[in-house]
């Protein structure tokens, strides 16, 4: 249980770090390339409108992914903290039980 919780936390943290690698420039470039593939010509009003809409869509999509990754990381962190608290409680209980049985 403990190993899987920590492994899950590492996976979520890695995903979060990778999702943060997207830059505003890369989103703009993807928007421009997409609009060119749609058939719009750079320098036209239609192209500018397309780029603006695609940029907003891709930015929102990226932000949603980052938000989801952050939520998952927070949940994994809460789970890990609870696991550690439970382990510490178990150790305390074991120690108290030992002391009652074997007072030295």
**What would the pLDDT profile of 35-90 be if each residue is shown by its tens digit?**
999 999 999 999 999 999 999 999 999 999 889 888 888 888 888 888 888 888 87
- Check residue 1 and give its pLDDT: 46
Cα(35)–Cα(51) distance, rounded to whole angstroms?
6
User: Which residue bears the tokens 């899950």?
Assistant: 8
60: exposed, middle or buried (Cβ count in 10 Å: 0-12, 13-18, 19+): exposed
Cα(5)–Cα(81) distance, rounded to whole angstroms?
10
- Check residue 38 and give its pLDDT: 96
CA distances from 20 to 24, 62, 69 (A): 11, 9, 10
Q: What token pair was written down for 33?
A: 């390339």
- Check residue 94 and give its pLDDT: 63
State the helix-helix crossing angle for 45-101 and 24-37, rounded to 10 degrees. 140
> In this model, does residue 2 exceed pLDDT 70?
no
- pLDDT confidence band for 25 (50 / 70 / 90): very high
Cα(78)–Cα(86) distance, rounded to whole angstroms?
12
Domain boundaries, the chain: 22-68
């Amino acid at each position: 249980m403990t190993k899987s919780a920590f492994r899950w936390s590492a996976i979520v943290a890695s995903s979060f770090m990778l999702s943060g690698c997207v830059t505003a420039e890369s989103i703009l470039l993807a928007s421009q390339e997409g609009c060119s593939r749609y058939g719009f010509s750079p320098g036209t009003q239609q192209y500018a409108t397309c780029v603006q809409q695609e940029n907003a869509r891709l930015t929102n999509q990226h932000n949603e992914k980052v938000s989801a990754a952050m939520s998952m990381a927070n949940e994994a962190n809460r789970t890990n903290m609870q696991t550690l608290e439970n382990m510490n409680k178990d150790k305390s209980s074991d120690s108290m039980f030992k002391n009652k049985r074997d007072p030295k």
